[in-house]
């Protein structure tokens, strides 16, 4: 394998063809770190507006470290996997208190931050500081498998192969180029080998799909979730999910049927018997996904039947509600009912 030629070809291709993503316009380790955390299990198109809003409100480590958790969760609302937001805030405090307000340059040191594993530490340090650290995500693993015509790469083998290819002169650009190649050319199905800048070095190009590695998908679980829309004087009733469970700590419309670890699923009428009078007809239906759950959400209009209100719940205007750490289900429900936009 002509390693110098391969590096040169891939880096030239990346320089000409890379997508103009906002986090590629900076070498600020904080901004790169935020993007990498958001991009975990989330598409680029979904992340971009969240990333731009988040950095506008929290432009640096100090502002994030000094934030309230609810405000961070509110900006994250709808992006899912909320532990990422909590980890970001926690790690920002670690950086401020232990690392002088600067993301560590060492991969091993960075891995001591809350929620930062080897991939994130390698990505941030290589892109921001030029640290010679190779990244291995799903896209890079697929490129490596095809390039070497090997399957079932162990973590250590994949890391070793990625490091052997790494351009020590431009490690950050190289890592981005490898990830970009896997994302837009060396795709899991129907890879565009004719457009690949390193096809001449690829041992697996004749049967590229044979070398596609992927984790077995968890079977999807169809779930019916019922939500109650209770309105009073232009405000809607919201409850807060208990900490630690699915969507823990987020505000939602009163609901029943959300999968829980700590308690069995409850139907809406059973859960709020004696406190809500629920209309018999469904007002709105929409679909939503949380991890491997495929949810059919049904919204019913409802009314409080107790003067003292519903324990743990409170009324909020729509602007107030949208400024809270509001779950994606409730955001969709409010839009579906014509109460919110966007």
Q: Are 168 and 51 contained in the same domain? A: yes
Q: Are 230 and 173 contained in the same domain? A: no
CB atoms within 10 A of CB 200: 12
Q: Are 35 and 47 in contact (CB under 8 A)?
A: yes
Give residue 231's pLDDT band: very low, low, confident or very high (50, 70, 90). Answer: very high
255-256/221-232 β-pairing: antiparallel
Q: Where are the beta strands (DSSP E) in the chain?
A: 221-232, 235-240, 251-252, 255-256, 276-278, 284-290, 293-304, 313-317
> What confidence score (pLDDT) does residue 131 get?
97
Name the percent of the chain lying above pLDDT 70.
Answer: 95
Q: Is the pLDDT of residue 10 over 60?
A: yes
Q: Are 11 and 73 contained in the same domain? A: yes
**142, 171, 186 - which closes a domain:** 186
Q: Are 168 and 271 contained in the same domain? A: no
SS3 326: strand
SS3 336: helix
The predicted-structure confidence for 262-301, as pLDDT tens digits, reads as follows 455 678 998 899 999 999 999 999 999 887 889 999 999 9
Q: Are 180 and 239 contained in the same domain? A: no
Q: Which CATH number do you get for residue 109?
A: 1.10.340.30
Q: Are 163 and 231 contained in the same domain? A: no
Q: How far apart are CA 196 and CA 10, in angstroms?
A: 9
Q: Which CATH number do you get for residue 298?
A: 3.90.79.10
Q: What's the domain count of the chain?
A: 2
Q: Are 105 and 247 contained in the same domain? A: no
Dig out the tokens for 82 from the structure. Answer: 């909320």
Q: Does residue 145 fall inside a structural domain?
A: no
Q: Average per-residue pLDDT in the chain?
A: 92
Give residue 26's pLDDT band: very low, low, confident or very high (50, 70, 90). Answer: very high
Residue 63's domain comprises 3-134+153-186
Q: Are 237 and 102 contained in the same domain? A: no
Q: Is the pLDDT of residue 228 over 50?
A: yes
Q: Does residue 82 fall inside a structural domain?
A: yes
Name the residues annotated as catalytic.
Answer: 36
The predicted-structure confidence for 144-176, as pLDDT tens digits, reads as follows 999 999 988 899 999 999 999 999 999 999 999
Q: Are 179 and 312 contained in the same domain? A: no
> What confidence score (pLDDT) does residue 209 get?
83
> What confidence score (pLDDT) does residue 262 get?
46
Q: Does residue 212 fall inside a structural domain?
A: no
Name the percent of the chain lying above pLDDT 90.
Answer: 77
> What confidence score (pLDDT) does residue 211 get?
82
CB atoms within 10 A of CB 272: 24
Q: Does residue 207 fall inside a structural domain?
A: no
Q: How far apart are CA 144 and CA 164, in angstroms?
A: 11
């Amino acid at each position: 394998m002509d390693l110098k030629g391969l590096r040169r070809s891939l880096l030239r291709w990346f320089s000409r063809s890379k997508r103009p993503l906002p986090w590629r316009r900076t070498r600020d380790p904080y901004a790169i770190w935020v993007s990498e955390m958001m991009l975990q299990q989330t598409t680029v198109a979904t992340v971009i507006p969240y990333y731009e809003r988040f950095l506008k409100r929290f432009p640096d480590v100090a502002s994030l470290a000094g934030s309230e958790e609810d405000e961070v969760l509110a900006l994250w609302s709808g992006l899912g996997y909320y532990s990422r937001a909590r980890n970001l805030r926690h790690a920002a405090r670690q950086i401020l208190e232990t690392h002088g307000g600067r993301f560590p340059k060492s991969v091993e040191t960075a891995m001591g931050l809350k929620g930062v594993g080897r991939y994130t530490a390698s990505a941030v340090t290589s892109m921001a500081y030029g640290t010679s650290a190779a990244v291995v995500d799903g896209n890079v693993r697929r490129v490596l498998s095809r390039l070497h015509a090997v399957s079932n790469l162990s973590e250590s083998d994949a890391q070793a192969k990625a490091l052997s290819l790494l351009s020590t002169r431009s490690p950050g650009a190289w890592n981005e180029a490898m990830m970009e190649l896997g994302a837009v050319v060396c795709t899991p199905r129907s890879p565009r080998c004719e457009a690949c800048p390193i096809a001449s070095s690829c041992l697996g190009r004749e049967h590229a799909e044979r070398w596609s590695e992927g984790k077995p998908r968890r079977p999807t679980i169809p779930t019916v979730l019922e939500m109650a829309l209770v309105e009073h004087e232009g405000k809607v009733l919201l409850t807060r999910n208990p900490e630690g469970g699915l969507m823990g700590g987020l505000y939602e419309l009163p609901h029943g049927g959300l999968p829980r670890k700590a308690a069995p699923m409850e139907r809406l009428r059973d859960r709020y018997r004696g406190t809500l009078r629920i209309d018999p007809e469904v007002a709105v239906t929409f679909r939503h996904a949380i991890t491997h759950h495929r949810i059919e959400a049904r919204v019913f209009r409802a009314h409080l039947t107790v003067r003292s209100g519903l324990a743990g719940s409170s009324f909020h205007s729509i602007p107030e509600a949208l400024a809270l750490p509001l779950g994606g289900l409730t955001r969709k429900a409010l839009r579906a009912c014509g109460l919110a936009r966007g």
